[in-house]
Amino acid sequence: MTEKKTNHLVDDHDEDGVDRRGFLSCMAWAGTGAFFLMQGGVLKSYSLSRLPAGVPSSGELSFVQISDSHMGFNKPANEDVVGTLKTAVDRINALGTRPEFMLHTGDISHLSRAEEFDTVDQVLKGASTNSVFFVPGEHDVLEDDGKQYLERYGKGAKGNGWYSFDHKGAHFIGLVNVMNLKAGGLGTLGGDQIAWLRDDVSRLKHSTPIVVFAHIPLWTVYPEWGWGTEDSAQALAVLKKFGSVTVLNGHIHQTMQKVEGNVTFHTAASTAFPQPKPGEAASPGPMKVPADQLKSILGITDVTVARGRHALAIVDSALA
C-alpha cells in the first residue's frame, strides 16, 4: 500500500456512510505485507519490507488475530488447510514479541463437524499464545443453530455466544453476527446483543481502548455479496463516545481497512483460501491461485496496543 493511498483514507472525513472508493483504494492483499499504526485516531501504514526506523514494534499488550480456517475444506483453492493453519501457527511462534493471546474471528470449521473443530483445537495448541478467544462464523453454526459451537467455545458467553473481557486496560468485545440471517439480508447482531453491548460498555471510561471482534465485517464492504452487517450502525453508535475503537473482522478472506472517526476497521486474511476482491468475480467463492502464490495471500494479523497513545499497531503477515 502506498503512502498516497493511506493519506487518501485519512483525509476521508465523510462519516455519513461508507466511502467505497476510498476503502477500495486502500485494500491490501496480505501478501504485500503491511504494518498499520494508529496514533490519536490517525492511521498510518507502512510496507513490511520498508519499515522506517522508530516505528514501535511492541507495546504493553500485543495479541494476534487469525480467521477463516475452514477446517474440512478440501477443494482445489487449497487442499491442505491443516498445513496452512500450521504455517500460521509457526508464523505466530516466530514473532519477535510473543502475543499474549489469539483471537479467531470465525469460520473455524467448514461444515460445523466435530472432527473439524477438533483438528483446529489440536493445531492451535501448538501456538505460543496462552489462550484463544473465538467468535463464530456462519460455517460454525450450520444445522444446529450454534449449539455445538456454544458447547465448545461459548462457556460463560451470553446469548448466541457474545462476551467481553478486560486485559491490561483494554476492553475486548466478541460479537456474533452470523445467527438468524434473514432472506435477502446481511449479517445481523439483533436487539438483544446491542442492548447487552450498551450495558457492557456503560461502566467504562471513555479513554478505554476498545477492541471489537466479530466474523462478518461490521462495516459495509460489499452488500451485493452480503459483506456487511445490517444493524452494525447501532452497535457503533454505542461505541461513539470512546476515543479508540478497533474493529477486527474476517469472513471476506482478504485484508482491508478503513478509518472512520475514532474507529479503525480491519479485516484479516484467511488461513485457508483467498476470495476475490469485491465485484471482481461472478461470486465470492474460493479463488484458485497458483500453488506457489497461495501462502502469500493467506495470513495472520498481529496487533499491539500501545498504552497512553491510544494506539494500536496492526501488522498483517503473509504465510510465505
Partner 1 sequence: MSKTVLTNGVFLAALAIGVAGVGRTVTAVPAGTQPAADATAVKIDNFTFGPADVTVKAGSTITWTNHDDIPHTVVSMDKAFKSKVLDTDDHFSFTFASIGTYTYYCSIHPKMTGKVVVK
Binder among 16, 224, 280, 292 for partner 1 (CB under 8 A): 224
Stretch that binds partner 1, among 157-165, 181-189, 198-206, 238-246 (CB under 8 A): 181-189
Contact flag: residue 286 with partner 1 (CB under 8 A)? yes
Stretch that binds partner 1, among 37-45, 48-56, 104-112, 312-320 (CB under 8 A): 104-112
Instruction: Quickly count: other Cβ atoms within 10 Å of residue 195's Cβ.
Output: 12
Report residue 233 as a C-alpha cell.
450502525
Stretch that binds partner 1, among 6-14, 94-102, 244-252, 279-287 (CB under 8 A): 279-287
Contact flag: residue 147 with partner 1 (CB under 8 A)? no
Q: How far is the CB of 78 from partner 1 (least distance, A)?
A: 10
Q: How far is the CB of 252 from partner 1 (least distance, A)?
A: 13
User: CA dist 11 to 49, 52, 111, 313, Å?
Assistant: 25, 22, 42, 19
Cβ nearer to partner 1, comparing 31 with 228? 228
Q: What is the total count of residues that contact partner 1 (CB under 8 A)?
A: 25
Cβ nearer to partner 1, comparing 73 with 117? 73
Residues 112-131 that bind partner 1 (CB under 8 A): 112
Cβ nearer to partner 1, comparing 96 with 184? 184
DSSP 51-109: PPTT-----SEEEEEE----BT--STT-S-HHHHHHHHHHHHHTSSS--SEEEE-S--B
Contact flag: residue 169 with partner 1 (CB under 8 A)? no
Contact flag: residue 240 with partner 1 (CB under 8 A)? no
Q: Residues with Cβ < 8 Å from 304, sequence gap 6 or more? A: 56, 57, 58, 59, 61, 62, 97, 312, 313, 314, 315
Q: Is the dihedral of CA 284, 286, 290, 294 positive or negative?
A: positive
Residues 32-91 that bind partner 1 (CB under 8 A): 73, 75-77
* Three-state SS annotation for 161-185: CEEEEEECCEEEEECCCECCCCCCC
Contact flag: residue 310 with partner 1 (CB under 8 A)? no
> Where does this chain bind partner 1 (CB under 8 A)?
73, 75-77, 110-112, 138-139, 142-143, 181-186, 224-226, 282-286
